[in-house]
Amino acid sequence: MTAWLFSWLAIMTLPAQQDNYLLIDEAGIRAARAKAEKEPWARRALTELIARAETLLRELPEIPPRGGQWLHWYSCRRDGATLQTVSPTEHRCPLCGALYRGEPYDSVVLTQVHMRLSAAARDLGLAFRFSGREEFARRAAGILLGYADRYRSYPRRNIHGEDKVGGGRVMPQTLDESTWLIPMTWAYALVRATLPAEQQRHIEENLLLPAAQLIREHRMGIHNIQCWKNSAVGLVGMATGRHELWREAVEDPERGFYAQIARGVTAEGLWWEGSLGYHYFTLNALWPLAEAARLAGMDLFSERYRRMYRALLELSLPDGEPPGFNDFTGVNLKTAARLYELAYARWGEPIFGHVLSHTERNTLEALLWGSPNVPAGPMVPSESVLLEQAGYAMLRSPDMTVAVRFGMHGGGHGHPDKLNIVTYGAGRLWGLDPGTIHYGAPLLGEWYRTTIAHNTVSVDERVQGPADGRLQRWEVRSGETLLEAAADALYPGVQLRRSLRLRGSRLRDRFECRSDTPRLYDWAFHAAGRMTTSLAMAPRTGRLGTTNGYQHLSQLAVAITDGEWWARWEGDGAELTLHFSAAPATEVITGIGPGRDPAEKVPVLVVRRRCAATTFDVLHRVRTLTR
C-alpha cells in the first residue's frame, strides 16, 4: 500500500472523537495524572494549570471590539526600542520618552488581549479535563461562543489596514490568525462534549470554519508561516470532521506538512531560512499537526523531522544561547526545552533528554508528554559540527566555541553577513551578532541588516549582496578544527576567503580579500566589555559614513599603524585579546554601535585598508582572569 493511500485512508477514518482533544486524549490525561501523583515537577505543572484556570474564572479580559495589529509596529520610530504600554491609548518609548497614540499602536495592544484569551481558553479546557470542574468548561465555552458571535463581523485587514488576502480578522495576518486559532481549536475539542449541538454548530460554522477558510485563501509555499497555517487548518478539519481540510494540511504537494519537511529542511536538519529563531518558530508550528495526527493513528514523526530537533542543539553556544544569525536570534535551549519534552517522548534520543535534565520541568508540555526519567548529560554537543548544505559550522574546543556562517542566504530573513563569526570563551559571549529587532522599526534596515553590524568584511562601505558562500575545507583532528570558506559573489570583482583554525583557547583567523582594483576593506568585530588597544587612539570627528549602518557608529577614535598591535575586551572576569599581524597603512577605528537591544551600545572595532589585496591575520585568545 502506498504511503499516500495509507495516509488518505487514515484521514478518511478520522472521527471528531469525544475523547480525542487534538492536544491530548483521555489516555494521555490519565497518564499525566499518574505522573503528577509521583513526580514533583509534574505535580507543580498541574497545580499551576489549575491555579491559572481559577484566576481566569475571576479575571478575564473582555473580547475586544475589533482585531489587533502587527506586533512589529510596537517600537519607537527614532531608536527602535520596544514601546511600553502606559494605557490602552498611550505607548511610551523607554529610551527617548516619545509618546505614541492612535493606530497602529492602540490595536497592537488588542493583539496581546486576543492572544491571552486564546491561551486562556486552552488552559481552561485542559483544567476541566484534569479536574472535572464544569465551571472551567463553561468559562472556556464562553470565550469560544463570544468569538463565534463576533468573528464574521470583524473586517479583514492586513498589517497596513488593507482588506486583502493575507490579512486576518482577529489578527492582522494569517500567520497570527493561525497562532490564535490553534489554541482556540484545542479548547473547542476539550469542551465540545459539554456543549449542546446548537452551540457546537455555532462555534464550528461561525468561528472555526470561517477562520480556516480565511487562512486557506492565503496560499504560500515552503515557509514557516505556512507551517502554522497547516496546523491551524488541519486541526479545524479534525475538530469539525472536514477531512478535506486535514488532507490539504498534510498532503498538499506545494505547501502541506510533508512538503515542508521534504523541501524546507536541509539534509542536516536546519530550516532553510537559516535562523535558529525561525527554526524554533517552525518547530512550534509543526508539532500541533504532528501530535494531532499521532492521536488519530497517523505518524508524521519522520527522521528528517527528528533532525530539526538535533540541529537546534548542534548550533547552540555552550550556555544554550543561539549565535543570533539572520532575523530572529532565537531562544536559549532551556526555554526551548518544553519542545524537547515531546521530542524525547516520541523519539527517545538521549541528547533530547539531556536538555530536559538541565531544567525544572514544571511546564505544561512536561505534564502532557514528559517522561518520568530522562538521562543526564551535556545540554550542547562538545564536538565540532558542520552543516554544509546550510552553510553553518560550530568549531568547538574545551575552551572556546566559534559559530560560522558562510553559505545559504536564507531568503527574506537572511542578513548580508557571509563569513561572519560569533565567538564564545571563558564562560561568556564575545563576538556578537546583533540579530534583529521589530520589523516595523527603521533601525532594522539601517543597522541590523547591514554588513558592518556583523563580524565580517564590508567592501566600499556597502552591504553584501544576497549570494551564498561555499565551503572549501573542513577538518576535525586531535584537539583542532579547521574551516576554510569563500564568497566570491557578494561584491562584483571581489573575492573573499576566511580560514579559521581553533585549538584550545586560540583561534587563528585569516581573512583574505582580493580585487582587480583598489577597494576599501573594513574588517569589523563587535563585543561587549571594556575595550582597549595597544595603539594611541585619537578622537575622530564626524561620522565614519552616512549610510549602510556606518551612520550608527559613534564615539569614534582612530590610529594608523604599519606594525603589529592588539585590541582587548574585558568583562565578567574574562578577557579576549585580538593580536593583529603587521600590514602597511592600516587604519584602526574604535567606536560603539547598537547591540541586540537598541538601548545597549556595544564596542566596535573596524580595521580599514584601501588596496587591491590584503589579508587580515588575527589571533583570538580568551582567558579567565584570576582575582
Specify the CATH number for the domain of residue 447. 2.70.98.70
Provide the grid cell at 413.
Answer: 530573513
Residue 454 placed within a domain: yes
Of 381, 399, 432, the residue that ends a domain is: 381
Q: Which residues of 583-595 are buried (b: 16+ CB within 10 A; e: fewer)?
A: beebbbbbbbbbb
Alpha-carbon gap, residue 260 to 487, rounded angstroms? 28
Domain count, the chain: 3
d(CA 106, CA 69): 8
Among 314, 457, 300, smallest CA distance to 386 is for 314
Residue 7 has pLDDT above 70, yes or no: no
Give this prediction's pTM.
0.94
Q: How far apart are the first and last CA of the chain?
A: 69
How confident is the prediction for the chain on average, in pLDDT?
Answer: 95
What is the H or E stretch that residue 609 is in?
Answer: strand 601-624
The answer on 403 and 531 residing in a single domain is yes
Confidence of residue 19 (pLDDT cuts 50, 70, 90): confident
Half-sphere exposure of 186 (CA within 13 A, CB side): 26
SS3 75: strand
pLDDT at residue 18 in the model: 65
Residues 406 and 331 in one domain: no
Same-domain status, 375 and 400? no
Answer yes or no: do 401 and 356 share one domain.
Answer: no
Contact 375/350 with Cβ under 8 angstroms? yes
Residues in CB range of 187: below 8 A, 6 or more apart = 118, 121, 122, 124, 125, 140, 143, 144
Residue 562 has pLDDT above 50, yes or no: yes
Rounded CA-CA distance 618/511 in Å is: 8
Q: Per the domain annotation, does 52 fall within a domain? A: no
User: How many other β-carbons are positioned within 10 Å of the β-carbon of residue 362?
Assistant: 17
Instruction: Return the pLDDT at 392.
Output: 97
Residues 308 and 452 grouped into a single domain: no
What is the enclosing helix (H) or strand (E) of 79? Answer: none
- The dihedral region occupied by 347, where left means phi > 0, alpha psi between -120 and 50, and beta the remainder, is alpha
Domain boundary among 54, 80, 103: 103
d(CA 176, CA 174): 5
Distances (CA, A) of 221 to 256, 552, 582: 9, 36, 51
Q: Which three cell numbers stand for residue 323?
A: 549565535
pLDDT band for position 188 (cuts 50, 70, 90): very high
Question: Is the per-residue pLDDT at 1 higher than 50?
Answer: no
Judge whether 256 and 250 are in contact, CB under 8 Å: yes
Dihedral of the alpha carbons of 29, 31, 37, 39, in degrees to the nearest 10: -120
Would residue 445 count as lying in a domain?
yes
Instruction: Give the pLDDT score at 137.
Output: 98
Give bridge partners of residue 554 from the DSSP assignment.
592
State the SS3 of 173-231.
Answer: CHHHHHHHHHHHHHHHHHHHHHCCHHHHHHHHHHHHHHHHHHHHHCCCCCCHHHHHHHH
pLDDT on residue 6? 42
Is residue 295 scored above 60 in pLDDT?
yes
In 3D space, the residue among 189, 172, 239 whose CA is nearest the CA of residue 212 turns out to be: 239
User: pLDDT above 70 covers what percent of the chain?
Assistant: 97
Question: Are 326 and 469 in the same domain?
Answer: no
Residue 326: inside a domain, yes or no?
yes
**Do β-strands 554-561 and 586-594 pair in parallel, antiparallel, or remain unpaired?**
antiparallel
Which phi and psi (to 5°) does residue 561 adopt?
Answer: -150, 150
Tell me, yes or no, whether 535 and 512 share the same domain.
yes
* Alpha carbon 473 to its chain's center: 29
Domain check: are 374 and 309 in the same one? yes
Any bridge partners for residue 119, and if so which?
none
Does the pLDDT of residue 572 top 60, yes or no? yes
Q: Helix-strand-coil percent breakdown of the chain, rounded to 5?
A: 40, 25, 35
pLDDT value at position 63?
Answer: 97
Say if strands 400-405 and 480-487 run parallel, antiparallel, or are unpaired: unpaired
529 shares its domain with 614 = yes
pLDDT for the residue 2:
45
For residues 365 and 341, is the Cβ–Cβ distance under 8 A?
yes
Nearest of 242, 252, 238 to residue 294 by alpha carbon: 238
| Of the candidate ranges 13-27, 467-481, 496-510, 513-527, the one whose mean pLDDT is the lowest | 13-27
Judge whether 432 lies within some domain. yes
Helix H or strand E segment including 385: strand 385-387
What is the tally of helices (H) and strands (E) in the chain? 17, 20
Distance CA 143, CA 63 (A): 8
Asked if residue 392 and residue 347 are part of one domain, the reply reads no
Over residues 279-304, the mean pLDDT reads 97
Please, where are the H alpha helices in 241-298? 243-251, 257-264, 276-295
Q: Are 113 and 106 in contact (CB under 8 A)?
A: no
| Cell numbers placing 250 | 498534510
Task: Tell me, yes or no, whether 134 lies in a domain.
Answer: no
Nearest Cα residue to 192 out of 153, 236, 230, 249: 236
Asked if residue 237 is part of any domain, the answer here is no
The mean pLDDT value for 114-120 works out to 98
Nearest alpha carbon to residue 61 among 125, 106, 24, 114: 114
Last residue of a domain, one of 381, 416, 432: 381
Domain extent at residue 75: 70-103
| Strand order, beta sheet including 428-429 | 385-387, 392-396, 400-405, 420-425, 428-429
> Is residue 8 over pLDDT 80?
no
CA distances for 247 relative to 51, 203, 250, angstroms: 38, 22, 5
Model pLDDT for residues 530-558, shown as the tens digit of each residue: 999 999 999 999 999 999 999 999 999 99
All 3 cell numbers of residue 299? 505518524
* Average pLDDT, integer, range 1-12: 45
Task: Indicate if 418 and 481 belong to the same structural domain.
Answer: yes
Q: Using DSSP bridges, classify how beta strands 400-405 and 392-396 pair: parallel, antiparallel or unpaired.
A: antiparallel
Residues 581-607: pLDDT tens digits? 999 999 999 999 999 999 999 999 999
E-assigned strand segments in 293-377 = none
Distance CA 556, CA 533 (A): 14
Question: Would you state the pLDDT for residue 626?
Answer: 79
pLDDT in tens, 239-272: 999 999 999 999 999 999 999 999 999 999 999 9
Res. 431: pLDDT tops 60: yes
348 and 487, same domain (yes or no)? no
Name residue, grid cell 488552559. Answer: 123
Alpha-carbon distance of 244 to 229, in angstroms, equals: 15
Q: Is residue 288 part of a domain?
A: no
